Amino acid sequence: MNIYDIAEMAGVSIATVSRVMSGSDKVSDKTRKKVLSVIEESGYTPNVFAQGLGVGTIHSIGILVPNISDLYMAEAVSFLENELQKNGYNCLLGCSGFELSGKESHLHMLLDKRVDALFLVGSTYAGSGKSDAETDYIRAAAAQVPVVVINGAVKGENVHSAVCGDRQAMYDVTSSLIQRGRKRILFLTDSHSYSAQEKTAGYLSALEEAGIPVREDLMMHVPNRIHAVRDILLSLPDPDFDAVVATDDGIAVGAVKFAARTGRSIPQDLQIVGYNNSSLSVACEPELTSVDNRTEDICRGAVTVLLRLLSEKEPMPPSMVVPCRIVRRRTTDF
């Protein structure tokens, strides 16, 4: 018998049980009596760790990422951990991979550690949108603790999302290229995730609005490896594009290297836009125009949402959307 069992039996949150045990006056008499009755009937004896949950000093939050070596994931975890530590929370990290079985097992592992809440970082956790079965494990976890998905939208009770306005950003970038006379815009992505789908929708919307036919040969799925992208583009028998928009800076840098190898001048012959505004965008030459998805702002906002959920101060909307910014550098002239 533990504090989680008491909370479930009493039909209240863990934080409420902890407040009752600590004598807090932030609990109604009716709720206090119900919790104390359950504790008495069960013979539960609280320990120091349990008393710390919700209102004390021993707090822990689980953070799940598919791959910590990814620049975006590493940066997001760093921002989350810094914000949580400022507010007295410890962090437990899990790396799940991209397969559903790995996501489920690592999420259960974090729940077994009795974390107070979960952050799932990456649009892969939102699934492909083909079936609710891809995200049922998240809703099951949310029945136990609050869950916040960063860079992906998942619907469910006690599930909240913090995302960037990817669709609008890709629409704006593509429209800007069209306004500069670019008609054959190559779209490169390495994923079928929620975020990639939003970016694809923005790209297609801009083409449709401009009356430019969608060409399947100008929409390519490629690995997120710089030299691999370069070599794939070099292997095309007749490369017929005058601009490139990519869903990640690493992919875009591969296009920059393709231009250098084939003697195409940037941005005169070929304009290129990346995504995430990572260190790669300023490490390449010429420096890369990139969409800033404002990872730090999203993570800070996500922590604020979670803290309010844990403190039960107020109900929170199911999603938070942060608009992106376009950082213009030397690979474009718009």
pLDDT tens per residue, range 162-174: 999 999 999 999 9
Confidence at residue 56, expressed as pLDDT on a 0 to 100 scale: 43
- Rounded mean pLDDT, 312-324: 82
**Tokens encoding 14:** 């863990």
Decide if pLDDT at 55 tops 90. Answer: no
Confidence at residue 101, expressed as pLDDT on a 0 to 100 scale: 94
Decide if pLDDT at 229 tops 60. Answer: yes
Confidence at residue 52, expressed as pLDDT on a 0 to 100 scale: 46
CA-to-CA distance for 81 and 77, rounded, in angstroms? 6
- Rounded mean pLDDT, 179-196: 94
Give the length of the chain: 334
- Rounded mean pLDDT, 24-44: 84
* CB distance 292 to 325 below 8 Å: yes
DSSP state of 126: G
**Tokens encoding 6:** 């008491």
Decide if pLDDT at 207 tops 50. Answer: yes
Give Cα 318 distance to the centre of its chain: 14
Decide if pLDDT at 312 tops 80. Answer: no
* CB distance 125 to 64 below 8 Å: yes
* CB distance 62 to 119 below 8 Å: yes
**Residue 314: band (very low, low, confident or very high) from pLDDT cuts 50, 70, 90:** low
Top mean pLDDT of 146-155, 259-268, 297-306 is at: 259-268
Q: Report, at the CATH architecture level, how domain 3-52 is classified.
A: Orthogonal Bundle (1.10)
Give Cα 55 distance to the centre of its chain: 28
Q: What angle do CA 284, 265, 324 make, to 5 degrees?
A: 50
- At 191, phi and psi to the nearest 5? -145, 160
Q: Minimum mean pLDDT among 60-69, 202-211, 304-313: which range?
A: 304-313
pLDDT tens by residue, 105-119: 999 999 988 899 999
DSSP, collapsed to helix, strand or coil, labels residue 230 as helix
CA-to-CA distance for 52 and 23, rounded, in angstroms? 13
**Residue 45: band (very low, low, confident or very high) from pLDDT cuts 50, 70, 90:** low
**Tokens encoding 73:** 């994931």
Higher pLDDT, 19 or 210: 210
Domain with CATH 1.10.260.40 in the chain: 3-52
Confidence at residue 22, expressed as pLDDT on a 0 to 100 scale: 65
Percent of the chain residues topping a pLDDT of 90: 68
70 Cβ contact list (under 8 Å, min separation 6)? none
- Rounded mean pLDDT, 161-186: 96
Decide if pLDDT at 218 tops 70. Answer: yes
**Residue 2: band (very low, low, confident or very high) from pLDDT cuts 50, 70, 90:** low
Decide if pLDDT at 303 tops 50. Answer: yes
Q: Report, at the CATH architecture level, how domain 60-164+295-323 is classified.
A: 3-Layer(aba) Sandwich (3.40)
Q: What is the pTM of this model?
A: 0.76
Candidate CATH numbers 3.30.70.20, 3.40.50.2300, 3.40.640.10, 1.20.140.10; the one for domain 166-292: 3.40.50.2300
Higher pLDDT, 24 or 60: 60
Domain with CATH 3.40.50.2300 in the chain: 60-164+295-323, 166-292
Cis amide leading into 315 (omega within 30): no
Q: Give residue 312's region: left, alpha or beta (phi > 0; psi -120 to 50).
A: left
Nearest to 118 by CA among 161, 79, 86: 161
Confidence at residue 50, expressed as pLDDT on a 0 to 100 scale: 45
Q: What angle do CA 144, 105, 222 make, to 5 degrees?
A: 115
Q: Is the dihedral of CA 80, 59, 98, 298 positive or negative?
A: negative
Percent of the chain residues topping a pLDDT of 70: 92
Nearest to 181 by CA among 280, 271, 55: 271
- At 121, phi and psi to the nearest 5? -105, 115
- At 120, phi and psi to the nearest 5? -110, 115
Confidence at residue 313, expressed as pLDDT on a 0 to 100 scale: 59
DSSP state of 96: -
The neighbour count for residue 263, using CB atoms within 10 Å, is 7
Decide if pLDDT at 268 tops 90. Answer: yes
Number of H helices, E strands in the chain: 13, 12
DSSP state of 267: T
Q: Minimum mean pLDDT among 54-58, 63-67, 93-97, 205-209: which range?
A: 54-58
